[in-house]
């Protein structure tokens, strides 16, 4: 379930898709391609950012806050075990801080190499969970374009991303 992002980046990173099931940024697969879903994700990202800022402020001023453990509740655990999810990749790519000269992304897959523009990659999602389980068919992740244009033929078996 490990995917490396390397190449013309300031910070190469390794992604572990097996822990994304606990990540609040995940999106239900069936909602990933709808316009409203993208708007909801943006609202949620803004809410998470605001909450993080409040927590950060409280963390520095109130020592009791350090013991908060945001566990998944029972319903969230049950949903995670029966739903299929994708993760937007944009934030991960931005965290690597690609060099200004970087324009292309090479996806190394089990079947060979696929080349995309960096913009296409940023506007994609990674399918990592099928009915609560890691992808058994040509995993660890499948890439879908956010517009759904490759919904019936995702790029499968991605093991490494090279920004070039």
Write out pLDDT tens, residues 3-27: 999 999 999 999 999 888 888 889 9
* pLDDT of amino acid 133: 87
* pLDDT averaged over every residue in the chain: 83
| Percentage of residues in the chain having pLDDT higher than 90 | 51
Range of the domain at 30: 2-35+73-163
Residue 138 lies in a domain: yes
More confident residue, 136 or 152: 152
Q: Which CATH number fits the domain that encloses residue 13?
A: 3.90.420.10
Separation between Cα atoms, residue 14 and residue 99, nearest integer Å: 18
Using CA atoms, how far apart are residues 1 and 45, in angstroms rounded to an integer? 25
Could you give the CA distance from residue 74 to residue 67 in angstroms, rounded to a whole number?
A: 20
Q: Is residue 93 part of a domain?
A: yes
> What's the residue count for the chain?
164
For residues 129 and 39, which has the higher predicted lDDT (pLDDT)?
129
Residue 95 lies inside a defined structural domain of this protein: yes
Q: What angle do CA 50, 76, 58 make, to 5 degrees?
A: 30
pLDDT tens across 60-104, in order?
554 444 444 455 667 776 776 788 999 999 999 999 999 999 999
The closest alpha carbon to 109, from 49, 163, 155, belongs to: 155
112, 28 in Cβ contact below 8 A?
A: no
Helix, coil or strand: residue 131: coil
Distance, CA of 9 to CA of 92 (rounded, Å):
12
What is the count of structural domains for the chain? 1
Q: How far apart are CA 123 and CA 120, in angstroms?
A: 5
41 part of a folded domain:
no
Contacts with 150 (C-beta within 8 Å, 6 or more apart), sequence order = 143, 144
Residue 87: its pLDDT value, please? 94
Which pLDDT value is given to residue 23?
Answer: 84
């Amino acid at each position: 379930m490990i995917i490396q992002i390397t190449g013309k980046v300031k910070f190469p990173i390794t992604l572990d898709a097996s822990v994304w099931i606990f990540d609040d940024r995940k999106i239900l697969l069936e909602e990933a391609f709808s316009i409203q879903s993208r708007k909801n994700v943006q609202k949620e990202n803004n809410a998470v950012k605001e909450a993080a800022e409040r927590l950060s402020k409280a963390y520095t001023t109130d020592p009791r806050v350090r013991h908060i453990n945001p566990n998944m509740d029972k319903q969230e655990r049950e949903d995670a075990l029966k739903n299929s999810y994708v993760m937007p990749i944009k934030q991960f790519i931005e965290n690597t801080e690609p060099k200004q000269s970087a324009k292309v992304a090479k996806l190394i897959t089990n079947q060979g190499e696929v080349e995309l523009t960096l913009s296409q990659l940023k506007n994609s999602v990674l399918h990592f969970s099928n009915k609560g389980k890691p992808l058994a068919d040509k995993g660890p992740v499948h890439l879908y374009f956010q517009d759904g244009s490759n919904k019936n033929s995702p790029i499968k078996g991605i093991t490494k991303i090279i920004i070039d």
